[in-house]
Structure 1
Amino acid sequence: MRAIKVLLVDDQELMRQGLRKMLEIEDGIEVAGEAADGEEALLVAAECRPDVALVDARMPRMDGVELISRLSARQPGVASIVLSTFDEDDYIFGALRGGAVGYLLKDCTPEELIDSVRRAGRGETVLASPVAARLVAELRRTPPAPPPPAAPRDRLSAREAQVAALIAAGASNREIAARLRIAEGTVKNHVSSLLRKYGLRDRTRLALHLKDPPPS
C-alpha cells in the first residue's frame, strides 16, 4: 500500500522538525515536503503532490485559511488539516469553509495526530473535541436552510423514477444496476440527472431527500 504523503506547513522550524520526526517513524506515512508559509507551501505542494497537508493557522505572507482555500482549488485531492494553538471562530470556520477536512489543536497527543493523518488520508473528517463542540454550537445557532424544491414527478423519466425509488430504499448503485439490469455507469448518469433536478449536491443528500421529502 502506498504511503500517505504529508506536507508540513508551519513558520516555526522547530515545530516542523518535531512533526517530521514524529511522523517519519510511522509505517505508511511519508513526509514529502515542508514550507514556512502559505506562498511557499503552494510551490512545494505542486512539486511533491501530498495527500495530506498539516497547516498552521497563523503564518507570515499567507495564513493557513487562505492557503487551504487556494490549495483546495488547485489540488482538490489534498486533505488539509489545521494544526494550531488557536481555536478562534474565524480560523475554524474559515478553514472548514475553505476546504479543510480537519482542525486540531497543538496540545493534542502524538497518537491523536498520527491517527488524524491516517484518517484524513482515507478521506475522513477529523476535529478536536473543542472544535467539534464549537461547530455544533454554531450549527444550532444558525437557522436551517430551506429544503430544496421537490422535483415534480413529470420532470422525471420513467427510468429516473425507478432509480429514485431504489435510492430511497437504500440501494447502492451496484444493486440498482443489478435490479434494473443496466450498467452501473448508466445508474451514475441517472443519479447525476436526479441531483440536477432536485438541486442537491451529492448522493447522500439525494437519498435523504427521497426517503423523507419535504411536505408539498
Structure 2
Amino acid sequence: SINPPHVVAVSRGPEVAVPSAWPGASRMAHTSAPTMLPPRAGYTSQHDRYAEEYNRWARWTYTSPPAETISLKLLAHYEGGARRGRNQSNPFGNICEGKKDIDALISAHDLVPIALDTIIPKVKMFCPTFAWRFDEFVVRDTDWVDLGAHRDPGPYFYSQCFQAARRNPKAMAFKSKQFTLYVVVPAPQWIEYEAF
C-alpha cells in the first residue's frame, strides 16, 4: 500500500508536429512560402472567426449608449369599440413594460420589433394555452398610428424631444422623453380569445 501504482507501458507517445522533421523540410526552409501546418484536430471553421468576433464585442462593450435617447412604455391592449370617431383599445393582463436607452433617431419600422419582442412573451404567459396569432398584432402610438404601416424612414419621435433652451429661448435643446406604444390584439382575435 506504500508502493506507487503500477505504470502501464504505452506503445505510442503523444503526437507532436515538428516542422523540421517533416519530409522535405530542408527544401522548405529555403523557400519564401509560409509553412503549412497540419490541420488542428477538434477545431472548426468557426474558430477561425474568433479574433474578428472578439474585436467586434470588445468595441461594442466599450461604446457608450447614444447621447440622445428616449424611453418607451409598452402596453398590451385589445381592440374595443369606437368612441368619438377614434378607435378605442383596452388594456389586458396588466401587461406593461418599460424600455430605456433607445436611440432617439429610431424609425417607426425599427420600433415595431422592440415593442413586439418585449410584449409577446408576456402575452404568452398571460394565456399560454390560447393559439395567439402574433403576426396579426399591431403596434400603435397614442395617436393610434399603425407603426408597421408608417413608411417614413426618418426618426419617429426625435422632433418631439426638442424644447426651448433655458438660457436662449430661441435655441432648441434635446430633452429625453418617454413615449407610450400599444401592442394591440385585433378585435376578431380578442373575441376568439374570450370564447376560448
Identify the TM-score tier after normalising by the shorter chain. under 0.3
Q: Which structure features the higher share of helix residues?
A: 1
Q: TM-score, normalised by structure 2?
A: 0.26
Greater relative contact order, per chain length (Cα 8 Å cut-off, separation 6+): 2
Identify, as 1 or 2, the structure richer in strand: 2
Task: Give TM-score, length-normalised by structure 1.
Answer: 0.24
